[in-house]
Amino acid sequence: MTQKSQVDSTEFFNPDNFWGDTLLIRTRFMECGEWGGHLELSKVYLKDNEFYVTYQKYSADCNSIKENNGEPSQTLVKTITKKLLDKDKLLIRRYFHQLVDAKFREPTPMHAGYIFEITKSDKSINLFVYTWGVTTRNEYIEFITRLME
């Protein structure tokens, strides 16, 4: 079985896996340097036996770091909720596998970097990538752009 067909056949969106649970896809950029940057959060969940995603994008105020315990304050600027189509589920599965690959490929930064996470609220999945590499950033941007089409 090729790597692509393995990704495409991963049994990820089984309603039994999501009963009362949420998959969180979280990204933190680094426009404020070592203090971080804006957040993007996607919540994948089951509702009435259908899968949905709610995407939230925040803007970061790099001038508020001192007053906000060393992190930029976040302001919600966009929220999109949509029912997941089969093509969207495939995008999420592929992005998950890209992050696993990035975990082994990307260098770990010393102070400033991007954070990419996929977790489940029940803690059964906890994938965390901290990197300054732009490959993972570009993969995320392509993923979220296509997911929100």
Domains of the chain by range and CATH? 3-147 (3.30.1560)
pLDDT band at 5 (very low <50, low <70, confident <90, very high): low
Rounded distance between C-alpha atoms, residue 34 and residue 93, angstroms = 30
pLDDT for the residue numbered 41:
98
**Is residue 6 pLDDT above 60, yes or no?**
no
Q: At what angle do helices 134-147 and 86-105 cross, to 10 degrees?
A: 170
pLDDT for the residue numbered 107:
75
Rounded distance between C-alpha atoms, residue 38 and residue 77, angstroms = 10
Residue range 21-78, pLDDT digits in tens: 899 999 999 999 889 999 999 999 999 999 999 999 999 999 999 898 889 999 999 9
Kindly state the average pLDDT of the residues 114-125: 90
Question: What CA–CA distances, in Å, run from 91 to 2, 22, 105, 109, 127?
Answer: 17, 17, 20, 27, 17
Residue 13: closest CA among 76, 75, 92: 92
pLDDT for the residue numbered 15:
81
The DSSP output letter for 66 is G
